[in-house]
Every structure is written in C-alpha cells, then in structure tokens.
Amino acid sequence: MLKTFLTCCVVSLFVVGGFVGFSISADPGPAEMTLTDASSAKPKPAKFPHKLHQDAFSCAECHHGMDADGKKVDYVDGQAIGKCADCHNADKLAGKMKDKLDLATLKGAGHGNCLECHKAMAKEKPELAEKKIASCATCHPKS
Ligand code: HEC
Ligand code: HEC
Ligand code: HEC
Ligand code: HEC
C-alpha cells in the first residue's frame, strides 16, 4: 500500500515535471559518443556506448568533481557534470599521476577509468574475456 502510494507520487512528480518543463532526474547526456582529445597531436578516438554503461553502473563509477584545493570529490546525485578534459588537462592536473598514467591528459583519465575496469572485469568474468573487452580494438576500432 505504502509502496503503491510512493510509486504514485514518483510517477506524478515525473508527469508534473515533464508538464511544466523541469526534470527531477539527472541529465543522462548522450547515449553514444566518441571520445577524442582535441589537444593531442595524435588523438586516438575511443568509442563509448554511454547508455550501455549507465544501465550497468552508477554515475559515481566514472563522474566526480574537484574541490578548491584540486582534490577529487566523490560524485553526488544531481551535481553538474562536465567533460573529463575540463579538469584532466595540462593546466589543472599537471604532474598528477595514477600509477604510470598521466592524469593531465584525456588518455590518463580514459585508461585509468575505462581500461582499468575492462581489465578487471575480463579477469573476473570469462565471458567478458572472451568478448575481448580489454583489447585495444574494443575501444579503438580500426576505421
Ligand atoms: C562508465 C563510465 C560512465 C558512467 C557509468 C556514466 N557516465 Fe556520463 N559520461 C562518461 C564519459 C566518459 C562522458 C564524456 C565526457 C567527455 O566528453 O569528456 C560522459 C558524459 C556525460 C554527460 C555529458 C557531459 C558534457 O558536458 O558533455 C552527462 C550529462 C552525463 N555523462 C551524465 C551521466 C549520468 C547522469 C550518469 C549516471 C546515470 C552517467 N553519466 C554515467 C562516463 C560515464
Ligand atoms: C571537476 C574536475 C574533474 C572532472 C570533470 C573529472 N575529473 Fe577525474 N579527477 C579529478 C581530480 C582532482 C582527480 C585526483 C587527481 C589527483 O590528485 O591525483 C581525478 C582523478 C581521476 C582518476 C584517477 C583515479 C582516481 O579515482 O583518483 C581517473 C581515472 C579519473 N579522474 C578519470 C576521470 C574521467 C574518466 C572523467 C570524465 C568522465 C573525469 N575524471 C572527470 C578531477 C576531475
Ligand atoms: C566500471 C566498469 C567499466 C568502465 C569504467 C567502463 N566500461 Fe566499457 N564496458 C564494461 C563492461 C562490463 C562491458 C561489457 C558489457 C557487455 O558486453 O555485457 C563494457 C563494454 C564496452 C564496450 C563494448 C560495447 C559493445 O558493443 O560490446 C566499449 C566500446 C566500451 N565498453 C568502452 C568504454 C569506454 C570508452 C569507457 C570509458 C569512457 C568505458 N568503457 C568504461 C565495463 C566498464
Ligand atoms: C576501455 C576502453 C579503452 C581500451 C581498451 C583502450 N583504450 Fe586507449 N584510450 C581510451 C580513451 C577513452 C582514450 C582518450 C581518447 C583520446 O585520447 O583520443 C584513449 C587514448 C589512447 C591514446 C592517446 C592518444 C593521444 O596521444 O592522445 C593512445 C595512444 C591509446 N589510447 C592507445 C591504446 C592502446 C595501445 C590500447 C590497448 C593496449 C588501448 N588504448 C586500449 C580508451 C581505451
């Protein structure tokens, strides 16, 4: 009963939200994208099915913010989401490394996030290893 009531409330909030032109859910961004580093001399575009990942993981798995001291801040629901390269660039994160990855580049952010997870998941799940999710061509298909 309570559950039905709550469902009704949520549904009507969405309806009202849609009707008057605001939304209570976060902007999901594009469903499909190609990530490329405009500042790089040799960019290597990466295919990224955003929606597929949103269906499997939380926003906080990839998105985060930064405080005034340049420290990473965990994602909170509804926060403004920008481009990775807004922070992962030579001005803002110069000298910051994660293992051997240079976090002042989009490659560092991309490999630290995307490739690390793909490697971990391929280790964990044989069916994903079989799909070669950690291989270069999964993200960087030959055109
Ligand atoms: C697996 C990683 C991942 C997950 C999970 C994820 N995103 Fe993203 N999202 C990205 C990447 C990468 C971009 C591209 C950023 C860029 O262009 O530099 C992006 C872009 C966006 C953008 C567009 C930002 C812009 O200014 O162009 C929005 C909005 C967004 N995501 C919202 C969300 C929300 C809301 C969720 C959770 C429901 C979510 N994302 C889950 C990785 C992810
Ligand atoms: C608002 C600024 C900002 C944005 C936008 C941002 N990052 Fe970060 N990111 C940081 C900061 C700050 C750190 C911590 C750097 C340090 O001190 O080592 C960090 C760290 C990381 C790390 C290192 C591992 C960790 O969790 O500390 C990865 C990988 C990463 N970011 C990937 C991404 C990806 C992918 C995106 C886009 C979806 C993104 N970041 C967007 C600021 C940002
Ligand atoms: C938290 C873990 C995680 C992160 C972070 C992540 N992925 Fe994935 N990704 C997966 C998993 C798991 C699959 C396999 C889904 C399946 O086939 O069931 C996948 C699948 C893919 C595929 C193949 C989709 C297809 O059509 O088979 C591409 C391309 C891809 N990811 C690119 C990226 C890129 C680019 C990023 C970073 C912007 C990224 N991923 C970040 C876990 C992750
Ligand atoms: C899970 C996804 C994923 C996998 C797998 C992956 N990459 Fe990437 N890679 C990215 C993303 C995202 C970027 C940032 C986009 C860009 O720099 O154009 C990137 C950037 C790069 C760049 C930077 C180009 C430049 O100088 O700006 C190189 C080189 C690269 N990758 C090589 C590789 C190689 C080699 C492999 C296999 C060992 C590989 N990548 C596997 C996602 C991936």
User: Tens digit of pLDDT per residue, the chain (143 long)?
Assistant: 445 444 444 444 444 334 444 445 689 999 999 999 999 999 999 999 999 999 999 999 999 999 999 999 999 999 999 999 999 999 999 999 999 999 999 999 999 999 999 999 999 999 999 999 999 999 999 87
Do 108 and 101 contact (CB within 8 A), yes or no?
A: yes
110: which residues sit within 8 A by CB, 6+ positions away?
Answer: 35, 46, 84
The pLDDT assigned to 60 comes to 97
The domains of the chain are located at 28-139
The pLDDT assigned to 26 comes to 81
* Residue located nearest, by CA, to atom 40 of ligand 1: 59
Q: Which fold has domain 28-139?
A: Cytochrome C3 (3.90.10)
The pLDDT assigned to 143 comes to 75
Q: Which two tokens stand for residue 87?
A: 């922070």
Pick from 8, 35, 28: nearest CA to 105: 35
Cα radius of gyration rounded to whole Å, the chain: 19
- Pocket lining: 82 vs ligand 2, CB cutoff 6 Å: yes
Q: Which two tokens stand for residue 32?
A: 């499909």
Q: Which two tokens stand for residue 53?
A: 């990942």
The pLDDT assigned to 18 comes to 40
The pLDDT assigned to 24 comes to 52
The residue type of 129 is: A
Interval between CA 46 and ligand 4 midpoint (Å): 7
The residue type of 140 is: H
* Residue located nearest, by CA, to atom 36 of ligand 2: 84
| Widest CA span in the chain | 60
The residue type of 16 is: V
Pocket probe for ligand 2: among 88, 92, 100, 119, the residue whose CB has the most ligand atoms within 8 Å is 88
Q: Which two tokens stand for residue 133?
A: 């999710």
Measure the CA–CA gap between 84 and 29, rounded to whole angstroms: 13
